[in-house]
Amino acid sequence: MRIGILGSGLMGGKLGTLFARAGHDVVFSYARSEQKLKRLARGALRLAPLAQDRPGSARAGTPADAVRDADAILLAVHWSRVDDVLKQAGDVAGKVIITCALPMNADDTALAIGQTSSGAETLAKKLRRAKVVSAFGTVPSEVFFGVFGARRRKNRPSLAYCGDDAAAKKVTATLIRDVGFEPVDAGPLRIARYLEPFALLMAQLAYEGDDGPEVAYRFERFGR
């Protein structure tokens, strides 16, 4: 797939790198320095590509470049930057937009939207013709490389996602698998009201716990 990264920081930089290593064509965009985007693109494929049908690719671009031919777009900016990056990205009608952005207030101390809506639903209202899926925001960026490295193990960690468009969810599930997680379809986009606070629980465990931020989760079923 062609994947546009809007916001190439902790989340976008790492996920874009792993998408490229999994064989996708990635455009990194939206950082304060173009050098950083170029460095990310060079670094993405530095490790030997894995056994796969075709190697991926990575390049730096503008948000408009990232979106233009994208099969999927990862939105990975602070909530306060969403309008700016979308303005630079231009037309996203018909596009799959995977958001990991949590609707945090300016000082990152609390969700600014919740209970009766969510960041993902607010985004979908802004972008009525795009197909918004909420994914990847429920784990800290520090865990992605470890999960990718362990992707051949039997018990993969879970990653819950939600959205209203079946085809967009299928694309998202593929990318979740490519990073090394087991996708867990949590239902329609309104379930982001539960996913987003859950992401703060994960952040609490990652950054306030004693065992470091490389933490993921795994749902298991019992009985019957």
Ligand X SMILES: NC(=O)c1ccc[n+]([C@@H]2O[C@H](COP(=O)([O-])OP(=O)(O)OC[C@H]3O[C@@H](n4cnc5c(N)ncnc54)[C@H](OP(=O)(O)O)[C@@H]3O)[C@@H](O)[C@H]2O)c1
Residues of this chain that interact with ligand X (CB under 6 A) are: 7-12, 30-33, 36, 76-79, 81, 100-102, 104, 137, 140-141, 199
Q: Which of 213, 224 has the CB closer to ligand X?
A: 213
Closest separation in Å from C-beta 221 to ligand X: 25
CB of 66 to ligand X, least distance (A): 12
Exposed (0-12), middle (13-18) or buried (19+): which is 35, by Cβ within 10 Å?
A: exposed
With CB atoms as reference, the residue minimizing the distance to ligand X is 9
Rounded to the nearest whole angstrom, what is the least distance from the CB of residue 224 to ligand X in the complex?
34
Please say which residue, 14 or 24, places its beta carbon nearer to ligand X.
14
Secondary structure (DSSP) of 69-126: T-SEEEE-S-GGGHHHHHHHH---TT-EEEE----B-TTSSSBSS-SS--HHHHHHHH
- How do beta strands 182-185 and 158-163 pair? parallel
Q: Which is nearer to ligand X, 207 or 219 (CB)?
A: 207
Rounded to a whole number of angstroms, the minimum distance from the CB of residue 42 to ligand X is 15
Instruction: Report the distance separating Cα 10 and Cα 186, nearest Å.
Output: 25
CB of 100 to ligand X, least distance (A): 5
Q: How far from each other are the two terminal CA atoms of the chain, in whole angstroms?
A: 39
3-state secondary structure of 67: helix
Q: Tell the smallest beta-carbon distance from residue 167 to ligand X (Å).
A: 24
Cα separation of 44 and 58, whole Å? 7
> Nearer Cβ to ligand X, position 152 or 206?
206
32 vs 152, which CB is nearer to ligand X?
A: 32
- Residues 192-210: b if buried by 16+ CB within 10 A, e if exposed: bbbbbeebbebbebbeeee
CB count within 10 Å of CB 20 equals: 26
Residue among 96 and 135 whose Cβ is closer to ligand X: 135
